Amino acid sequence: MAQKPAAVPLRLPWIRKRLNPPRQPLARWATCTVVSLALHVLLLYLLAPWWVNAFEWHCDLPSPPQSNPVLDHQPQVVAFQSPNPNLDEEPLVELQSAPELRTPAGTAPESAAIESTATIPQAPEIDVPWAGRIELHDATPSIPEPTNAETGSLMAPTHLPVGGGFEGRTADARGKLVSERGGTPQSEAAVNAGLAWIVAHQHADGSWRFSHDVGPCAGRCRNSGSESSTTAATALALLPLLGAGHTPLDGDYAPAVARGLGYLQSRMVLTQHGGDVQEGTMYGQGLAAIALCEAYALSNDESLKLPAQQAINFIVHTQHFRGGWRYFPGQPGDTTVLGWQWMALKSGQLAGLSVPRETLLRAGEFLDTVQSDGGSAYGYQGPEVERSPTAVGLLCRMYSGWRRNDPRLTRGVERLAVWGASFDDMYFNYYATQVLHHQEGANWPAWNERLREHLIATQAKSGHETGSWHFADPHTTPGGRLCDTALALMILEVYYRHLPLYGMKAVDF
């Protein structure tokens, strides 16, 4: 009988190695551990910005798109589509906690009145890393009484930015400031004609639209705008009315102002972070907030206090962590959108509302990133020298506390004067005129006369367009004739719309 061959042992070295791994030297083990730890730390460091950004914007706000092909090529006053293009057919979104808007006897806003006994909350809780360092600005800063002003003078000069209030909009102060600050009877007549044109284009629901193809105009005016944001259009129409002293309770156009403010409130969507009146654009948010704050400050109408504060709260919350604002919440900032938000915050301060000081400090830090020539010039999103951003940046710097004799401000004003007032670019003119008016230097008379006379001469004087303006300005093309008219009116109101910033309040208005 044949003998069976000896069994061959099964060779599975990889199993034996796993079951009985060789002992590695301690030095090799320590080296691998250190390298692994270092790689994990590096990975966490690289992912940290993503986690911070995700944490800050994980809220009920809409996610910002990556780009906007309509606007990204240049700054615009307003230039993107509302999420609700057919607003005439859409029921209004009511503000559930806004008090009823009071109007003069015999009038009532056509938008629904809302009642509430809610009190004004403090500044919003902001879920960002610096929230614990926020200090609240209680109200308008106290302004010393003039000690050396001549009797009957409206203000005494100072290098500190302590003026800028709304006191010049009363009938008596308005006439006095026009004669003292560079206005004329002809410029005031142009303002009155422009305001009449604006009121004639108000829709039955209290709103204004950039397009004149529908509504009371019925296409009789040329140069209709394409932008569909009704909050931006309504606020822009209200600002020159408020600038001339017309409030929801006083003035020839009180009913129109009351209906417009009622419409803005009806379009406000309350969130846990404030009142959203963007209607697709932070331009609309800033403009509507300015209108609500100015109306409250001028009328002392308590029914406007809550919606004004809520609009401010939303601006505070949507600030990018690097200090700016852009078209949508969460986007890195640009100078032109920041300008409207800054003016809204300033209007909130003048109205005595709660405005976190940290928000303005952060906005100033954004301006640091886009300034050139040591702060005398500004770019749109980077350190460039551009006309409109420079005018916006300098005005914001004035409101941030720069003294009138600051060398950076002096160089900036000289730069604006060299560029000169534009015959077409009303967006640049709107900001630059305020800068030169507040500065009150040798450049103001020539700038003022050139632009004032140009606006008087180019105002439409026939047909349904009487009292309005239109310019070949690419920045305002989406807003059309309504946008150009509103900006031109506020330029002609510069003498009294805000008291000179570098002057003390007077007691003898």
> pLDDT by residue (tens digit) across 180-227?
999 999 999 999 999 999 999 999 999 999 999 989 999 999 999 999
CA separation for the pair 94, 139 (Å, rounded): 29
Question: Is 129 part of a structural domain of the chain?
Answer: no
Question: Is 490 part of a structural domain of the chain?
Answer: yes
Q: pLDDT tens for residues 438-473?
A: 999 899 999 999 999 999 999 999 999 999 999 998
Question: Is 314 part of a structural domain of the chain?
Answer: yes
The pLDDT, as a whole number, for residue 110 is 35
Tokens of 216: 């009371």
| Global pTM value | 0.72
Question: Is 203 part of a structural domain of the chain?
Answer: yes
The pLDDT, as a whole number, for residue 339 is 97
Tokens of 460: 């439409």
The pLDDT, as a whole number, for residue 218 is 94
The pLDDT, as a whole number, for residue 55 is 40
Q: How confident is the model at residue 39 (pLDDT cuts 50, 70, 90)?
A: low
Distances (CA, A) of 380 to 75, 285, 292: 7, 19, 27
Strands (E), 324-466: 355-356, 371-372, 377-378
Question: Is 181 part of a structural domain of the chain?
Answer: yes
Number of domains in the chain: 1
* pLDDT at 115 exceeding the cut of 60: no
Domain that holds residue 215: 82-110+155-497
Question: Is 348 part of a structural domain of the chain?
Answer: yes
The pLDDT, as a whole number, for residue 95 is 33
Q: Helix (H, G, I), strand (E, B), or coil: what is residue 173?
A: helix
CATH of the domain at 470: 1.50.10.20
Question: Is 421 part of a structural domain of the chain?
Answer: yes
* pLDDT at 379 exceeding the cut of 90: yes
The pLDDT, as a whole number, for residue 24 is 53
Angle of CA points 224, 286, 472, to nearest 5°: 30
Q: Tell which wins on pLDDT, 424 or 41.
A: 424
Specify the range with the lowest mean pLDDT, choosing from 44-58, 218-232, 334-348, 377-391: 44-58
Question: Is 60 part of a structural domain of the chain?
Answer: no
Q: How confident is the model at residue 66 (pLDDT cuts 50, 70, 90)?
A: very low
Distances (CA, A) of 382 to 205, 206, 233, 334, 385: 41, 39, 29, 9, 9
Q: pLDDT tens for residues 273-283?
A: 999 999 989 99
Q: Helix (H, G, I), strand (E, B), or coil: what is residue 65?
A: coil
The pLDDT, as a whole number, for residue 360 is 96
Q: DSSP label at 356? A: E
